[in-house]
Every structure is written in structure tokens, then in C-alpha cells.
A and B are shown apart, each in its own frame.
Chain A
Amino acid sequence: MEEILKVEGLGKTFTLSKKQQKLEKTKEKKRVAVDGLTFTAYKGEVFGLLGPNGAGKTTTLRMLATLIKPDRGDAVIDGSSIVRDPQQVRSKIGFLTSELKLEQFFTPNYLYDFFSMLYGVKPEVRDERKRKMFDRFGISEFAEVKVGNLSTGMKQKVSLVISLVHDPQIIIFDEPTNGLDVITAKVVTDFLQELKKDGKSIIVSTHIFNLIEKICDRVGIIIQGKMIVCDDLKGVTGEKTLEERFFEIYEETAGEAV
């Protein structure tokens, strides 16, 4: 198996502002969000990061997508380091998250072309790809409607399609089904499985066991910024369900930590 993502000792500590301290009713000035994470993902597989709220999933994925910089460790994505070569990393990955907003004023069609330009996609390739993706997600009839006037679900689909204008080989997806109704959620999970069939490598984060069981080949459980287990799905669950196994692990770790 070919390594596509190698994370080593990745760490991120946030300094909490006065406002955040008050909001979270805490006196501590620092928050260790990710604490020396090490794991590997392989080409062509779907890797799931599973963890409760505040475990550090989003922070990890943001570091992998080079939106924020780690203060310890490094990760190498398809040969490029997120610390030393972030620009290279950006051109290789597609980062999907509800945090990345599209400007309300523009139409899906305009935004697709705009981002294709920024990713250096040639117009011929772009037009063909756009037609295929717009048809696939039912965006075609809304291609000239301003994003601001689209429904939430349609906005999400447009976001997804635009994050993939450069047809990246590695896709990083934070909470793929969060905030989507069951129908749209199914469209997205089906699409992820399609991408996998096409040989893409996918990293997702979620706290939904069901999603992991459905699409992931391997899973890493993080709690309080630390990787507790990381193995293929069978290796983690054994004879139990993922849910049962997760609570066992959680009890052991959280029990230790308290």
C-alpha cells in the first residue's frame, strides 16, 4: 500500500483570548487542541477521523489543508510537506468544509470558472468537468442563479463541486453530512464512494458512527487531541459494533484523563 498522507507528531496549541476564556468558563490561557498526532493514510482508501466534540478533528484537518500552521510536527501529503511547501499541498488537495463560504453575489457558473482559473485548470478541461459535475448534482438549472438565492442544500452542493474544480487526488472532508437532510446526505456519501472507486484518497472527520461504518476503510479515534486507536475498521471494532467499541475506548481514556 502506497502512503499518501503521513502525519507525524502533529500538534496545535491555541492561546485563548479573554473572551474565549469567559465563553468557555475556563481560566486556562492555552488550549492543546491537537496533541502529537501520528497516523498514516494510504492511497485509494477512505480514512475516518472519529472523535467527540472538541477532540481536535477540525483543527487537524485545517492544518492538513494549510489553513493554519502546526506548532509541532509535520504532515506530508503526496510528497509535499504542509509546513515547508503549503502551496504545493493546496494544489494537490480538495478541502471541503462548511467553513469555506462562497460569495453570495456570484452564480455557480461564474464561481466554477473563477476557481478553475485560480487552480490553473485549462478552459477545455474545465467546461467538460463543469458540465459533468453540474449534471451530477442537479446544479445545471441553477447555474445562473446567485448563490445567495440558493437553498442551503444546493449551496452545499455548489461548495462541494467548486472545491473539486481541479479534480484533486486527495480529498479532505470535515463533517461531510453535517447539517444536511437525509436525501442530500445520501447524495454526498454516494459521491464519496464514487470518488473512492475512481481511486481518490479521502480523509473524513465525523462523530457519526454510521458514516464511518458505511464508507471508511480505516479509522482513527481521537480524544482530547490524541490518537487513541488507529487501524482498519475490523481491527478497531473486533466483534463489537463501532459504537460499543467507541464508548469502551472513551471510558478508558476519559477515565484516565480525569
Chain B
Amino acid sequence: MRNNILAIIKKEFVRFFGDKRMALTTILLPGLMIYVMYSILGEGMMGRMSADEDYVYHVSVVNMPQSMETMMENMPVQIENVSEKNEGEMAKVADKETDLFLVYQEDFDGAVASYDSETSQGAAPQIEMYYNSTKPESSEGYQMMIAAFDSYESMLANKFDVNGREGTYDLASDKDETGMFFSMMLPMLLMIFLFSGCMGIAPEAIAGEKERGTIATLLVTPMKRSHLALGKIISLGVIGLLSGLSSFIGTMLSLPKMMGGESGSIGVDVYGAGDYVMLLFVILATVLIMVAALSVISAYAKSVKEASTAILPLMVIVMVIAFSSMLGDGAPTQWYWYLLPFYNSVQCMNGIFAFAALPVNIVITVVSNLVYVMILAAGLAKMFDSEKIMYL
């Protein structure tokens, strides 16, 4: 009787959604928490950056040359001229009172003009720049000045320019940029969120029923064990999916805030319906194999607590595999990689987000995962039939 599978699924849903607190903490809360946390985090980072932009660097200078005075006019600096190099000014930098202490050699411009790196003997004209790396502003000012000096130096000896004219030379489209970023980040995040979602419910639904003695009540009914196993896996799959998707949506919504101003070119709108459909199938297949594996592990455990401990090794494995999306150069194209559970999910997602997914590999992933789920469901059914596992 197929109806029994439905009855089990319905019961699990009533149990889950009927318990407002459980439903909220499993489905709504993860997404909301991630959204709020990431948003606060993102805003905090942006706040720091804009404060820095208004900052005026305090610089003391000895022997300010004409050329440098013009150059520094457009920089956010407040200049104080000092007659000679002295310990006092250096101490001010060390004590974080001022940011930089610049010492040009006398007649710096003249020395630069007469110096030819190919022919001249002796040392090149000198600039000494004292800074304090433990003070962020000093450190940043130092970087800013180094960059300015570098460009001034290369301007003096200008032989050729690279990309000197106005215009965009990076021909990567928004789509490519988004694809690259998302294909590295999102598979990992999705895997982690989906797994955490499933991890929160499977031990409760399987080991919990064992612990409370309610599974025996089901097992004295004439219901087929395989129907019980399938009903559990399907219902857990749906709930796990909702929980994982909640976290995922939270991430996607907070992403623009996380990325600050740079987010302009990165957006989910570059993906088409086809990409989302493929993604949905892959996510479904992923969640199913996750709950199936977690259910089997939970069925071995005597209590929810024991089950939560027993699933930790699998969690580590899935996390490590999830990180593989950050490495390497994109998803492999050979079909046989897509027979490996979890790895196939990560690489399919990677491919989809990078616009490089091969439909045949998606199909292999979905089909092979379904086969594994069936095998695990059969195993779970066998376990339900084993008195050693169920009652001892």
C-alpha cells in the first residue's frame, strides 16, 4: 500500500509544522540569523572604510621639493615643514601623533634631473620616509605615498605605457565575474547549509523515535519496513530542503550588503530559468542523499545525543568536499566524477554557477544519487527489521 508512505510523510509534517517552535527554529530562524548577521557584518566593514576615506594624514617634511609639493596638493594630507631631520619628529611618528615623516635630500628636484640611471655613478637621489606600521593610518599613508612616488618615478622615465588611455580594458562581462565568484562560494555555502538543515532533524526523527519507544509501535503494524524508510527519508528531505533553502536565501539577500560597493556587478539576475531548474534538481538529489545517510547513521544510535555524535565524521567529510569548490579550475567534465556522492553535488553546483554545467553530468548526478538513496533506504528498511538495532 503506497498510502502508507503518504501516511508517514503526512505524520512527520504534522509533527514538524504543528510544533510552531520547532518549525520556526528549523526553517525561519537560520535564514533570518544569517541575513541579520551578514548584514551587520557588511555594514560594519563599509562603515570602517568610509571613515578612512575622510582621513587627513599628518605629514612632516624636510626639504619639500617643488615637484612634490604640486603632487601632494591633491592628496588628503596636512603638511608641516620642518627645517631638518630630527629625533623629535621621528618620536612623534613612533608615538602615533603624526603619521609620516618625510626627508628629501637637499635640492631633490635638481638631483633627480641630473641623475641618469644608466650612466650616473653613485647613489640615486634619496627620500627617507618614516612611518609606524602599528598605526593603521600611518601604514595606509605610507602605501599611498609609495604608490605616488612610484608613479612619479615612472613618469620621469616614461618609455611606454600600458593601458594608458581611458576605457575598460578588462573585457570580462558582469556575467563572467558573477559566475566566477558564485561558483567558488555558493556550492560550499549551499552544501554546508543543506547539511546543517538535515543534521538538525534526522537524529530526532529516527534515533528519537527509538529512544522514546515509539518506533516499536510502528513496527508491530503490518506496514512494510521499506515504506516506513521511504516515508521518513522523503519527509525529512523536504524539511531539510526548506531549512537549507532558508539559510541560502538569507545569504543571497545579505550578499549585496556584504560586498559593499563592489556588489554592483555581481547579482543573481545573470542566471536564467534553466540554471535554476538544474540547480533545483541537484539540490533535491543532494538533500535526499544527505537525509538518507543521516537516517542510516541515526538508526544505529540509541539516542538523539548518540546520533548527533555519530554523524560528526560524515559532517567533516561533507565540509571537506564542500571546500573543493574553492579549489581547482572549475568542475571536471568527465562523467565518472559525477558518480561520487556529495562531490558530484558540489561540482554540479560549481558548473551551474559558472555557466559551464554539462546537462549530462547533472543527469548522472541526479540519477546516481537517487540510486544511492534507494540503496540507503533499503538498508534503513533492513535496520528497521533488525531487533538488535531497534530494541537492544
Q: Which residues of A contact B (CB under 8 A)?
A: 17, 65-69, 87-88, 90-91, 95, 99-106, 110, 114-115, 117-120, 162-163
CB pair B223–A67 under 8 Å, yes or no, is no
Q: Is the interface of A mostly helix, strand, loop or mixed?
A: loop
Which residue from chain B places its CB closest to the CB of A65 in the assembled complex? Answer: B220
B387 touches A67 (CB 8 A): yes
Whether A101 pairs with B213 at a CB distance below 8 angstroms is yes
State in angstroms the CA–CA spacing of A66 and B222 once bound together. 10
| Any A CB within 8 A of the CB of B7 | yes
Known: A99-B216, A104-B212. 17 other contacts (CB 8 A): A65-B220, A68-B387, A87-B224, A88-B222, A100-B213, A100-B217, A102-B214, A103-B15, A105-B15, A114-B7, A114-B11, A117-B3, A118-B223, A119-B221, A119-B222, A120-B1, A162-B217
Query: Once the chains are docked, how many angstroms separate the CA of A255 from the CA of B33?
Result: 70
In the complex, the answer to whether A90 meets B18 with C-beta atoms within 8 Å is no
Q: Are B222 and A90 in contact (CB under 8 A)?
A: yes
Is there contact, CB below 8 Å, between B7 and A68? no
In the complex where A67-B387, A117-B3, A120-B1 touch, is A103 in contact with B214 (Cβ < 8 A)? yes
Q: What is the minimal beta-carbon distance from A133 to any residue of chain B, in angstroms?
A: 17
Q: How far is the CA of A90 from the CA of B220 in the complex (A)?
A: 6
Please report the C-alpha to C-alpha distance between residue A120 and residue B7 in the assembled complex, in whole angstroms: 11
Distance to closest chain A CB from B220 (angstroms): 5
User: Is residue B219 within 8 Å, beta carbon to beta carbon, of the partner chain?
Assistant: yes
Q: Is B218 an interface residue (CB 8 A)?
A: yes
Indicate if the CB atoms of B220 and A101 lie closer than 8 Å.
Answer: no
Chain A residues in 8 Å Cβ range of B4: 117-118
B387 CB contact (under 8 Å) in A69, A88, A91: A69
Most A-side CB within 10 Å, residue of B18, B209, B216, B220: B220
For A17, the closest partner residue in chain B by CB is: B392
Please give the distance in Å from A122's CB to the nearest CB on chain B.
Answer: 12
Residues from chain B with a CB closer than 8 A to the CB of A67 are: 216, 219-220, 387, 391
Bound together, the chains give a CA A104 to CA B18 distance in angstroms of 13
| B220→A91 contact, CB < 8 A | no
A65 contacts across to B, CB distance below 8 A: 220
Closest Cβ–Cβ distance, residue B336 to chain A (whole Å):
40
> Which chain B residue lies CB-closest to A94?
B220
